[in-house]
């Protein structure tokens, strides 16, 4: 338990007692102060009367659902900055995308994984605190710079003890003065490690041109506020800094720069982790989790537009509906895990035969759809035969010590030869594939004609 965590108050909103009880058990062990709401109305009432540092919000609830609760909180100036983490399941990928669009910061899957729940809650609490502290820090720094001219003694005391780094530097890169925090931020133990360096860009910058760009901007604007800069600390690790600097002149009229540095590394890393998480689940929203091919959601979203493009450009479009022959026998013989591995390997076989804009779709179970923009029916049949030939050449599950040969039945339909809408194209290709199944399998059928 962390005493620091006791400063944070978290609201858990979920109509399922077992979910709420499990989350509470985990977070109470971490020392967080918790409050609970069983529905959206109660949650909104609690937020009006109390201050929360984070909200764990279920999506599906009686009455007001989680999306509507999130929308109302984000419209209110008093509550818009509270981090909201949706409680959801892995099958709700589309809901996750919608949640990000209306302002949710992240998600936690149900059933809860203790380590994941604790890590995500901690990350967003720290990120939110960092944002608030940064705002307060910037306001404080502006006041301190103005006060420095009025009281040199007060400034010197603040200079030596400030949490933020303070420095003066020539435009060529020699540090003239630096407070202890600046020395620490740069990863040094002693001021001499910086003050004896004639050009800090050579040792502390991954790319010295980054400093040159900053100097050019400073010369033009005379002052830079919250200028972000990536540096290399003394030990070689990266750090992200926020600079508030101004261009000044000394008694001899020589220009120099002075300013304040805030170590923004923790916030930057948290933002990158959040961005990666969002990108991952946007990817999963349109891709099959097992094979990596596109999923049916993507197929139904994109195929109508491809047909409209084909109509507009007067170009063909073909579909291959493909089913692995006797796949149940493979699963019964080698087990479900090996069956899943075999599906992944078949997906790779399909992928190897395609070049963009063609793509494969995991349609469900052992069925696949191949979308072929620009292919007429003859070319699509040839592509289906190429896939079958590649399958015949491939030994599946060899990396697991097995020697499995797989075959497939393929049905082909094309625009404009067979149909001009998505539903009919899919239905005709599916029907053609089943005609193959009836006539012996392991072949290609273009609508009613077996090839």
10-21 pLDDT per residue, tens: 999 999 989 989
155 neighbors 141 (Cβ within 8 angstroms): no
* Lowest-pLDDT choice from 87-96, 257-266, 316-325: 87-96
Q: Which residues contact 180 (CB under 8 A, 6 or more apart)?
A: 160, 161, 191
pLDDT > 90? residue 270: no
> How is residue 149 written in tokens?
């001219």
Choice between 145 and 394, residue whose per-residue pLDDT is larger = 394
**β-pair type (317-324, 367-373):** antiparallel
> How is residue 29 written in tokens?
């062990």
| 190 backbone dihedrals φ, ψ, rounded to 5° | -125, 145
- The predicted model gives 363-383 an average pLDDT of 95
Query: Tell me, what's the pLDDT at 383?
Result: 96
pLDDT > 90? residue 375: yes
Placement of tokens 């069925």 in the chain: 367
Choice between 180 and 447, residue whose per-residue pLDDT is larger = 180
> How is residue 324 written in tokens?
């692995």
Report the distance separating Cα 32 and Cα 28, nearest Å: 6
Query: Tell me, what's the pLDDT at 451?
Result: 38
Choice between 323 and 143, residue whose per-residue pLDDT is larger = 323
Q: What is the pTM of this model?
A: 0.48
Chain-wide mean pLDDT for the chain?
Answer: 88
Query: Tell me, what's the pLDDT at 258?
Result: 92
Report the distance separating Cα 152 and Cα 187, nearest Å: 28
Report the distance separating Cα 171 and Cα 174, nearest Å: 8
Report the distance separating Cα 387 and Cα 351, nearest Å: 9
Choice between 96 and 237, residue whose per-residue pLDDT is larger = 237
Beta bridge partners of 108: 87
């Amino acid at each position: 338990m962390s005493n620091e965590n006791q400063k944070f108050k978290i609201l858990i909103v979920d109509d399922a007692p077992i979910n709420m009880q499990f989350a509470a058990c985990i977070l109470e062990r971490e020392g967080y102060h918790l409050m609970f709401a069983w529905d959206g109305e109660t949650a909104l009432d609690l937020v009006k009367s109390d201050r929360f540092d984070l909200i764990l919000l279920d999506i599906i609830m009686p009455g007001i659902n989680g999306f509507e609760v999130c929308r109302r909180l984000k419209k209110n100036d008093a509550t818009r900055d509270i981090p909201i983490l949706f409680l959801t399941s892995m099958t709700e990928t589309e809901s996750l995308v919608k949640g990000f669009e209306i302002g949710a910061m992240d998600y936690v899957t149900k059933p809860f994984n203790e380590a994941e729940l604790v890590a995500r809650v901690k990350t967003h609490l720290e990120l939110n605190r960092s944002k608030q502290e940064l705002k307060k820090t910037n306001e404080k720094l502006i006041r301190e710079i103005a006060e420095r001219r009025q009281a040199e003694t007060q400034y010197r005391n603040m200079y030596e003890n400030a949490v933020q780094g303070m420095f003066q530097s020539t435009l060529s890169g020699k540090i003239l003065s630096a407070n202890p925090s600046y020395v620490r931020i740069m990863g040094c133990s002693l001021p001499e490690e910086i003050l004896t360096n004639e050009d800090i860009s050579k040792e502390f910058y991954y790319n010295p041109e980054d400093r040159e760009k900053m100097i050019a901007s400073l010369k033009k604007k005379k002052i830079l506020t919250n200028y972000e800069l990536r540096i290399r600390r003394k030990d070689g690790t990266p750090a992200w800094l926020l600079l508030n600097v101004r261009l000044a002149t000394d008694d001899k009229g020589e220009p120099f720069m002075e300013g304040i540095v805030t170590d923004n590394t923790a916030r930057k890393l948290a933002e990158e982790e959040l961005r990666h998480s969002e990108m991952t689940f946007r990817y999963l929203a349109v891709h099959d989790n097992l094979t990596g091919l596109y999923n049916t959601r993507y197929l139904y979203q994109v195929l109508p537009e491809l047909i409209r493009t084909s109509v507009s450009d007067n170009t063909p479009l073909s579909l291959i509906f493909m089913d692995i022959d006797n796949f149940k026998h493979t699963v019964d013989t080698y087990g479900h895990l090996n069956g899943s591995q075999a599906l992944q390997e078949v997906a790779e076989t399909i992928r190897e035969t395609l070049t963009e804009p063609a793509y494969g779709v995991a349609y469900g179970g052992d069925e696949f759809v191949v979308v072929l923009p620009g292919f007429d029916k003859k070319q699509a049949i040839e592509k289906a035969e190429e896939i079958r030939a590649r399958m015949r050449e491939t030994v599946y599950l060899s990396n697991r010590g097995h020697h499995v040969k797989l075959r497939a039945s393929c049905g082909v339909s094309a625009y404009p030869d067979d149909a001009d809408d998505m539903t009919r194209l899919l239905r005709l290709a599916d029907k053609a594939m089943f005609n193959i199944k009836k006539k012996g399998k392991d072949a290609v059928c273009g609508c009613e004609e077996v090839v």
